Amino acid sequence: MDLTLRTQVRSWALAALLASVAPNALAQSTTGPLIPIDLERLRFNPAATDSMLVDTGNVLPEGAYRLMLMANYERGILLLKGSDGPERSIIDYRVAGWLAGAWSPTDRLELSARLPVIIHQGGSGADSLVGISEPRSFGLGTPELGARYALLRREEGAPVFLSLGLDVGTPGGTASAFGRQQGWAGLQVAPRVAVSRELGPIVLGASAGVRIRSTENEPGRDFGTELEQGIVVSTRGKGLRAEVALQAAESLVEPDIALELLGGVRMPFGGGFEAFGIVGHGFTDIPGTPSIRAAAGIAWAPETAAKEDVCRSGRSHTPEQCPANDDDGDTVPNGQDRCPLEAGPPENDGCPDTDSDGDGVVDREDACPNEAGVAENKGCPDTDSDGDGVVDREDACPNVAGVAAHRGCPEPKPEPKPVPQAPPPAAPSRLPTEHHVQFPVGQSTLSDSERRNLDAVADYLKANPSVSLRIEGHTDNTGPDELNRTLSQDRADAVRQYLIQQGIESRRLTAKGFGPDQPIASNETPEGRSANRRVEFVTSTTGE
């Protein structure tokens, strides 16, 4: 064989060898196999009580339901980088249909179902990566069943709507179309909590939960359980409504987070029907987060008959059903009335007053509720320490027997003087200890005039060493009861301290604050409240 022929044979052999190895040499590879995952990240609320996109804690009323049909378009939802560096858009677009509905079979409970269908999807670049198959263009997404239970409701007086929810992704999605997780047969569990509050014409809502599912080891990134959060601002009303929501999913198997900003509008057009539209933009390249989203659909939610208002006049109900009513007519609403079916004064929380000792002084005003007494002595029995027939509260000399004409004091003896003596001065019409010490609103400071009155009390006590005082402080009903009781004690202590400073032994003085519990006048007028802001004295005697 000549040299020319041998050269040609070698050239043909080299060309055949290059042809056999070229495909493998030129194909790009990934860091591992591509395992099917559930790429759908659109989270929406089939009931759409306040928001279409975020659970707000406000469930459907009992017996109500809502059905919806929606078409959804997404762009750029699965990007994969090969060993050569550039990213391939394995699924560049997806068109999916959703059939969903929600129903409230009983009070506080709402059930829901969602069925996604991947109508068509496609991309490019899968055939340029070793071991990567092009995803199926048609399939079924992960069907979901859900339940929500309302813990708090605004119509019942709660400050917010609050609910607990649970979604369960069931087997059935098409794995080769990236419609479900590969592991756990596609099962997913997503508990969450949701809350919202109306502020005028808008609603602020938020939800937080976790989507628990199998972990799939994808090239360059693992995909699995995620924390899901959503916040929304939506308008209220029966006409055109709008909302803006931010949905986030923080991976628990990778240090990243998926973010998507969504906006929606909805408009009713009669018969319980409404049309709606949604647009969105994703801020990350995490699988399932679209760069662009657009969705539109129609929903039907017929109005349910309003429940009978049992709280209207003449309707049979219990006080608990109608806390704003006043069933016993005592001006205290059922919700605040300790005895909602028995009329009683507001001062006794709506319960009838009782008089355990039958002395005509009701127990809440009776200082001795188990001993019959007189109203002038706050329901306590009268005592006559010196046995002169003049009760202590009227006796100017309670420890010395006297006569009624001299208010219980002994009749003065005439001095044996040859000249006529002037008649003894008449007994004082009012003892110093009968004075009520007055205080300004909210204060326990003694005025100069009250200090002079207390000087007279101190002089009287010095002249009557067997007399002891119980110093009782009182307030009007303005302000919280606990604060008033503290203020009344401060007032009684201030009087006691002043008397001690004037030379009265502390053992003869006790101080007790009663707050607003023992008024002597009506708290409905400024004059009555002024009279109730007082310190008064109760005297007692000890044997000499």
pLDDT digits (tens, 9 = 90+) for 230-285: 999 999 988 999 999 999 999 999 898 999 999 999 999 989 999 999 999 999 88
Whether pLDDT at 11 is above 60: no
**What is the pLDDT at residue 349?**
87
Place of tokens 């900003």: 261
Whether pLDDT at 291 is above 90: yes
CA torsion, ordered 484, 488, 489, 490, to nearest 10 deg: 100
Whether pLDDT at 372 is above 90: no
Helices (H), 377-525: 448-463, 481-501
Q: What number of other Cβ atoms are within 10 A of residue 155's Cβ?
A: 8
CA triple 326-108-66, angle to 5 deg: 120
Which CATH topology does 27-300 take? Porin (2.40.160)
d(CA 417, CA 66): 111
Mean of the per-residue pLDDT values for the chain? 85
475 touches 467 (CB < 8 A):
no
Q: What percent of the chain has pLDDT over 70?
A: 85
Every domain range in the chain assigned CATH 3.30.1330.60:
435-544
Range scoring the smallest mean pLDDT among 105-109, 272-276, 337-341: 337-341
For the domain covering 435-544, report its CATH number: 3.30.1330.60
d(CA 382, CA 389): 11
**What is the pLDDT at residue 84?**
56
221 touches 254 (CB < 8 A):
yes
How confident is residue 21, by pLDDT bands cut at 50, 70 and 90?
very low
Q: What is the pTM of this model?
A: 0.54
Place of tokens 């279409």: 52
Range scoring the smallest mean pLDDT among 19-28, 95-104, 369-378: 19-28
Every domain range in the chain assigned CATH 2.40.160.40:
27-300
d(CA 274, CA 299): 5
* CA nearest neighbour of 514 among 537, 488, 495, 491: 488
Tell me the HSE value of 186 on the side-chain side, using a 13 A CA sphere: 21
Q: What number of other Cβ atoms are within 10 A of residue 227's Cβ?
A: 15
Range scoring the smallest mean pLDDT among 114-123, 126-135, 404-413, 422-431: 422-431
